[in-house]
């Protein structure tokens, strides 16, 4: 949901030519290999993460190709985290949300007594979320941007 990204591109090439250009291509992002393959009548960009030692949230990208008549092809890139990777980020987001909601409830119960604990909980939740989002921007979202740029370079004439 909040980690899904969709990019739309256009190419003057036909669907058949694009599939031929993209199928079985290898992309390299941050020293990690990604492979474009056709599965279930759709092109997918899947990471080869067998040798990854650190914990990373990696995207799986689906490439949708729609013919646009004589004007080429509309390309839709939909990136989402792998199912195995998505638990940690959602857990952090839920924790930050609970901090903010819990602080609001404490404040509503008794504003005079719970003002400082409420401010502390809100601050902790916001700081953790900001650090988390910055790490996601330099990790997962950077992967999706670089995959989009490499696909864009493959589809240009």
d(CA 63, CA 77): 5
For residue 157, what are the domain limits?
1-157
d(CA 32, CA 18): 24
Residue 80 sits at the vertex; the CA angle it makes with 79 and 84, to the nearest 5 degrees, is 145
Tally the domains of the chain: 1
d(CA 114, CA 21): 62
> 102: pLDDT confidence band, cut at 50, 70 and 90?
very high
Over residues 105-127, the pLDDT tens digits come to 988 988 888 789 899 999 999 99
Segment 77-91 shows an average pLDDT of 90
Half-sphere exposure of 27 (CA within 13 A, CB side): 28
* CATH number of 85's domain: 3.30.530
> 55: pLDDT confidence band, cut at 50, 70 and 90?
low
- The model's pTM is 0.82
């Amino acid at each position: 949901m909040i980690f899904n990204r969709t990019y739309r591109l256009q190419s003057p090439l036909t669907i058949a030519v694009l599939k031929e250009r993209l199928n079985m291509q290898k992309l390299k992002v941050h020293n990690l290999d990604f492979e474009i393959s056709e599965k279930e009548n759709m092109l997918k960009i899947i990471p080869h993460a067998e040798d990854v030692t650190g914990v990373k949230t990696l995207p799986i990208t689906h490439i949708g190709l729609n013919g646009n008549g004589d004007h080429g092809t509309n390309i839709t890139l939909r990136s989402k985290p792998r199912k195995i990777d998505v638990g940690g980020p959602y857990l952090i987001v839920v924790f930050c949300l609970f901090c903010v909601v819990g602080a609001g409830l404490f404040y509503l119960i008794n504003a005079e007594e719970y003002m400082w604990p409420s401010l502390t909980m809100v601050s902790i939740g916001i700081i953790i979320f900001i650090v988390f989002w910055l790490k996601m921007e330099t990790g997962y979202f950077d992967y999706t941007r670089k995959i989009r740029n490499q696909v864009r370079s493959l589809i240009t004439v």
